[in-house]
């Protein structure tokens, strides 16, 4: 899942981005409101973490702009102002939740998970495809009850396929969804990760083409006949 973090405090931004990446989220960081708006227009995000006090465009204004343009992703607002008035202003602007600085990181992560669950209520908590199971709550992946030890990138690719099990993704689409704006690799990188993922699935008992190549189109999960 891809998250946009809009925070002008370098220390907070780096710490929070690192914590989110440790949980297998893809994170883009914007350091002012205008950059946050530019990112939101250019890329698709499942959630926005938005500071209230920002240079160029403040958080409330940015939140309103996103809602006026019909962006529906959850918005969690961060602020150092702990007053009812500020909370009401943020929520009325379209924010879904509100956390006051200094915040407890574990509580913030729990709130993020809760907001993402609202978005994915139509999705099963355990993602399954034939004998493959992926548990987003603890990042555990098994095939025929055998644990698969995946890298964070392999995990994100597999989760993408499972969440969109009847869709075919080309390499460029996978890069756009699963890599941050700051660190996009070449398309060959996707090919390498897919190959490694196939090998691990095969060792667990899956077919060699469990992730099938559709020539000229991309990759998808193969449906057994």
What are the tens digits of pLDDT across the range 161-186? 998 888 899 998 888 888 776 666 78
pLDDT of residue 24: 83
Q: What is the pLDDT of residue 72?
A: 84
- Sequence length of the chain is 225
Determine the pLDDT at residue 163. Answer: 84
Q: What is the pLDDT of residue 175?
A: 86
Q: What pLDDT shows up at residue 77?
A: 92
Q: Does domain 127-221 have CATH number 1.10.10.10?
A: yes
What pTM value is reported for the model? 0.65
The domain spans of the chain are 2-119, 127-221
Decide yes or no: CATH 3.90.1530.10 for domain 2-119: no
The reply to whether omega before 102 is within 30° of 0 (cis) is yes
Measuring CA to CA, how many Å separate 167 from each of 40, 44, 111, 129, 152? 23, 17, 30, 13, 22
pLDDT at 187: 84
pLDDT in tens, 9-18: 999 999 999 9
Is 181 in contact with 28 (CB distance < 8 Å)? yes
C-alpha dihedral over 5, 7, 10, 15, to 10 degrees? -40
Q: Which residues of the chain have pLDDT under 50?
A: none
Q: In what order do the strands lie in the sheet with 146-147?
A: 127-129, 132-135, 140-143, 146-147
């Amino acid at each position: 899942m891809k998250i946009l973090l809009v925070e002008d405090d370098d220390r907070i931004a780096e710490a929070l981005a690192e914590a989110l990446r440790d949980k297998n989220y893809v994170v883009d960081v914007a350091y002012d409101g205008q950059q946050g708006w530019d990112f939101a227009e250019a890329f698709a995000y499942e959630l926005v973490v938005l500071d209230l006090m920002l240079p160029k465009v403040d958080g409330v204004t940015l939140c309103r702009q996103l809602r006026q343009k019909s962006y529906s992703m959850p918005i969690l607002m961060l602020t150092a102002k702990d007053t009812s008035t500020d909370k009401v202003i943020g929520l009325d602007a379209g924010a879904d939740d509100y956390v006051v600085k200094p915040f407890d990181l574990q509580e913030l992560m729990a709130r993020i998970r809760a907001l993402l669950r609202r978005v994915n209520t139509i999705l099963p908590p355990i993602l399954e495809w034939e004998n493959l199971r992926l548990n987003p709550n603890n990042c555990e992946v098994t095939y025929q009850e055998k644990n698969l030890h995946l890298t964070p990138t392999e995990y994100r690719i597999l989760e993408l396929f499972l969440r969109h099990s009847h869709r075919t993704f080309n390499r460029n689409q996978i890069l756009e969804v699963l890599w941050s704006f700051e660190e996009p690799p070449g398309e060959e990188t996707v090919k390498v990760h897919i190959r490694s993922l196939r090998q691990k699935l095969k060792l667990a008992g899956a077919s060699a083409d469990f992730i099938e190549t559709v020539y000229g189109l991309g990759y998808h999960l193969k449906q057994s006949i």
